[in-house]
Structure 1
Amino acid sequence: MTLRRSLLLSTVAAAAALASFAPGAFAQAAKLKVAAVYTVPFEQQWVSRLHIALKAAEARGEIEYKASENIANADYERVMREYATGGAQLIVGEAFAVEAAARKVAKDFPKTSFLMGSSGKPQAPNFAVFDNYIQEPSYLAGMVAGGMTKSNKIGMVGGFPIPEVNRLMHAFMAGAKEVNPKVEFSVTFINSWFDPPKAKEAAFAMIDKGADVMYAERFGVSDAAKERKVLAVGNVINTQDKYPDTVVASALWHMEPSIDRAIKLAKDGKFTAEDYGPYSMMKHKGSSLAPLGTFEKKVPADIVTKVQAKEKAILGGSFTVKVDDSQPKAAFK
């Protein structure tokens, strides 16, 4: 081999090696740096959906994931900025009580992608929003509850009366009313996202007034139902394994479709400000009614048939669950 040919081959090989580290190729191979900021513990039902979806992406080797839990509202902006300054490419969290601060951070870091739980609109160019659009399985769960109550009184305990909670309660109530027009409701908000003792006490008060089915929007409600030997319907996660004789049904939230979409778009440099709410709907596999499990043979057959028919209608597009974001104020005496 001549010296000239040897040098030429060496130059080609070097160029190929450098090309493999070109910005586009490197970005494609590198893991996306994702950070999450949560105001409650990882195990809180709402946040757990985000955390599980992100941990799954981490396990697949798609992202580097860091997260902070129990961050006070006053510290939320500071933690967001620390992650953004530290190189996070996608930041996930909940902006419900810190809207102005979270949106300000997004403006200051236009090259960082933000996917935040929010009641507001997307903010161009990089602030996308989401919430748990699980009103469809909530309607189905309400049908089950309406068919299971014997007193025709259902208690409902929520965190805060924000649109994301209100719409689920209204959907649940509408589902219960469809199969049982006689059913009455009592609604209480504990003004906290994570206070199981307070939620439990609120549930006890409703059970004392005759509620024999409880809508457990918050942790603590199912504990009260278990102690008083009444039924409960879960929200966001399935806790029937912990309450096999209490939790009859649950409306489940699956955050994977939203998280996976955000990760792909951020990796591809195509992330934009959009509303991810619809990706939590049943047609996108973002939500579902949990299997009846231990209550499979306890729920009346005609109710099961009606629920299955309604689920088919929802997925087929012939039935749409009404979205009502107003605060429910129903109460029985």
Structure 2
Amino acid sequence: MHPTRRQAVLVGASLALGACWPAQAQARLKVAAVYTVPAGQQWVGRVDKALKAAAARGEIDYVFSENVAAADFERVVREYAEQGCALIVGEAFSVEAAARKVARAFPKTAFLMGSSGRPQAPNFAVFDNYIHEPAYLTGMIAAGMSKTRRVGLVAGYAIPEVNRLMNAFIAGVKEVDPKARISVAFIDSWFDPPKAKQVAFGMIDDGVDVLYAERFGVSDAAKERKVLAIGNVTNTQDKYPETIVASALWNVEPTIDAAVAAVKAGKFRGADYGKYSRMQYKGSELAPLGTFEDKVPAELKARVAKKQKAILDGKFIVKVNDAAPRATR
């Protein structure tokens, strides 16, 4: 097995290396995922969670490869397609050309890839974490909880799918405190907790007391310096009970469930599955305040609840802004 590759089956059956599914479980849909980062990373971790849930219900057989280098991506995806996997999932942001090339070579295989590009007929569908709506709400909370009126954002790359979340968060901050000062930084990595932590330390030294933790490592810095942090994609408040005040959660289950149903019905097409990440589809949500339930002022909670209802009712639209966010001084 390639040293950067790991396969797993989540159906209680053993798997021979190189096989896409156990022979005794072929009645279920065969699904493979190819991840360029660890399966526990924020973004792909949510995809992995949704696929595990479908496997636990007996709907699919699921295998995956993680930490797949860009140079190996095309080969790994092609191998899964050759093995007969009906649906292949992954993030193609840094390997877009390779993913689309394999999809063209296997037109009868369904591909559901995280991508900021367009769908590709007939079989390459795209999705992404459109969680800008709860991100806006967390921005409101961040502004209301900041004592210095300084809020910082530490993220991976300045690409559309990251920018839209940050811009929505900033818009939420500005609704509550139009004069709040915003610091923005990118670490140019999807997984470098030590670097993210050091960048966050710099912001804290500059007066920031609430940090948007788009990457792992930021919350650790906030915890050490006893300031607050806002979670992104996943809820880690159980690990940071005195630090994470709110989180914008991404639930990939609606996306995966829609794709699996389409494949089983023979109706899968190259389409944009982005809508399934919206709050109205339960693809995203504002996490419960948990340990901060009694620490967030009642007036602020009421204001956030009112805005959330407006979003769900379609009376307030959180704009999708893919431009690189700007710091304010």
Q: Same fold (TM over 0.5)?
A: yes
Distance 1:57 1:278 in 2: 20
Partner residue in 1 for 2:122: 125
Partner residue in 1 for 2:95: 98
Unaligned runs of 5+ in 1: 1-28
Letter paired with 1:311: Q
Provide the secondary structure at the position in 2 that maps to 1:187. strand
The structure carrying a bigger helix percent of its residues is: 1
Q: Does 1:165 align with 2:158?
A: no
Letter paired with 1:295: F
Distance 1:198 1:69 in 2: 22
Distance 2:309 2:291 in 1: 23
Q: Does 1:149 align with 2:146?
A: yes
Runs (4+) of structure 1 exceeding 6 A deviation are: none
Unaligned runs of 5+ in 2: 1-25
Partner residue in 2 for 1:210: 207
Letter paired with 1:43: G
Letter paired with 2:321: D
Please show how residues 39-54 of structure 1 align to structure 2 within 5 Å: 39-54=36-51
Larger Rg: 1
Provide the secondary structure at the position in 2 that maps to 1:57. helix
Provide the secondary structure at the position in 1 that maps to 2:54. helix
Q: Does 1:238 align with 2:235?
A: yes
Give me the identity figure in percent. Answer: 69
Instruction: Measure how far apart 1:331 and its partner are.
Output: 4.5
Instruction: Measure how far apart 1:329 and its partner are.
Output: 2.4
Partner residue in 1 for 2:287: 290
Letter paired with 1:107: R
Letter paired with 2:234: I
Letter paired with 1:140: L
Distance 1:331 1:76 in 2: 39
CA deviations on 1:84-128 (whole Å, 9 max, x unpaired) are 001111000000011111001000000000000001000000000
Q: CA RMSD in A?
A: 0.8
Q: Does 1:250 align with 2:250?
A: no
Q: Does 1:77 align with 2:83?
A: no
Distance 1:181 1:190 in 2: 27
Normalized against structure 2, the TM-score is what? 0.91
Provide the secondary structure at the position in 2 that maps to 1:52. helix
Distance 2:189 2:71 in 1: 16
Which of 56, 59, 63 is the aligned partner of 2:56? 59
Distance 2:176 2:182 in 1: 14
Provide the secondary structure at the position in 2 that maps to 1:245. coil
Normalized against structure 1, the TM-score is what? 0.90
Instruction: Measure how far apart 1:297 and its partner are.
Output: 0.8
Which of 307, 326, 329 is the aligned partner of 1:329? 326
Instruction: Measure how far apart 1:74 and its partner are.
Output: 1.1
Partner residue in 2 for 1:108: 105
Provide the secondary structure at the position in 2 that maps to 1:82. helix
Aligned length: 304
